[in-house]
Amino acid sequence: MAGGADSTRAAEPLVSVLICAHAAAPFIEATVRSVAGQTHRNLEILVLDNASADRTAEILARLAAEDPRIRPVPSRENLGAYGGLNLLLDQARGAYVAIQDHDDLWHPDKLRAQLAHLETHPGDVGCGTAIVNHYEQTDRFLRRRQPAQAAVAWHTSLVFRNGPERYDLSVRVGTDFHFMRHALCGGRRRICNLEAPYVLRRLRADGRNLSSRWIRAASARDVFGARIGWFDKLCLIQRRLLPAAWVDRLVLDVVLRNSVLTRDQMRADPILRAFV
């Protein structure tokens, strides 16, 4: 039986999953297990420990001992999220690359659905999915989508064909959107975004998501000059000027209230029930 499983895995395209982790001990195990539990089995899971001072390295070593597809990559220096991704891209051997944040969760069928599209649509350079933001402090859920055919995707949902493209570290804000729009797509709409929400993005109650940290570090000039959508730019500006709880309330109760899901609605959805 093991031989049959190995043969099936070898027949599937190899996907390199890249995760940059920093001070991720409370949540990295759940994240990595959501990747390792994919129904698409032919994976290498590269996890950069970006100079963490907590138990991140210990947890990754234990997980790697359980599953040889998991490969921790230690760094004594904090390379940042995108410098870290460039390092992992240099080591990625897969025909495809998938990006995962260190505190988000994937549905088990995420990669299988995306590869089914990419293998039959050679003109697309990448594939994203819809996501659901979980606001842990209020236990509310917000469904977010990108256009079906676009030059961007939600970064934590992105799968793309492995190539020479790298993140431009001179871009201070919206580095991921710049990478997708310019490096991958060349300004054309070459990313397909699946309608199904295969990613749960955890917006932590302590406000210590990596995105929150770089928003606070970025200057107003960086934010205004970012090559991202105006709605997302407005949210970044508001987060610099207003308490995060106020911005979340504005988004959930006013701007995107029709996309808010209750926990019961999550349980009733055939895909989203996997996250609750």
Tens place of pLDDT per residue across the chain (276 aa): 334 456 556 689 999 999 999 999 999 999 999 999 999 999 999 999 999 999 999 999 999 999 999 999 999 999 999 999 999 999 999 999 999 999 999 999 999 999 999 999 999 999 999 999 999 989 999 999 999 999 999 999 999 999 999 999 998 878 999 999 999 999 899 999 999 999 999 997 665 555 555 455 556 666 666 666 666 666 566 556 566 677 778 788 887 899 999 999 999 999 999 999
pLDDT at 3: 41
Nearest to 159 by CA among 100, 72, 80: 100
Instruction: Round to whole Å and give the CA distance between 164 and 123.
Output: 17
Please report, in angstroms and rounded to a whole number, the separation of the first and last CA atoms in the chain: 32
pLDDT at 245: 74
Contact 159, 115 (CB under 8 A): yes
Q: How many CA atoms lie within 13 A of 127 on its CB side?
A: 22
Q: What count of other Cβ atoms lies within 10 Å of the Cβ of residue 257?
A: 10
Q: Which residues, 6+ apart, have CB-to-CB distance to 100 below 8 Å?
A: 17, 18, 19, 31, 35, 106, 156
Between the CA of residue 32 and those of 65, 87, 106, 126, what are the distances in Å? Answer: 13, 19, 9, 22
Burial 116-146 (b: 16+ CB within 10 A, else e): ebbeeeeebbbbbbbbbbbbeeeebbbbebb
pLDDT at 2: 38
Instruction: Round to whole Å and give the CA distance between 225 and 87.
Output: 26
pLDDT at 101: 97
Instruction: Round to whole Å and give the CA distance between 62 and 70.
Output: 10
CATH 3.90.550.10 residue ranges of the chain are: 1-103
Nearest to 114 by CA among 94, 136, 133: 94
Fold annotation for 1-103:
Spore Coat Polysaccharide Biosynthesis Protein SpsA; Chain A (3.90.550)
DSSP label at residue 48: E
pLDDT at 9: 62
Nearest to 213 by CA among 22, 7, 12, 10: 22
Instruction: Round to whole Å and give the CA distance between 162 and 7.
Output: 23
Contact 156, 224 (CB under 8 A): no
Instruction: Round to whole Å and give the CA distance between 222 and 228.
Output: 11
Contact 63, 45 (CB under 8 A): no
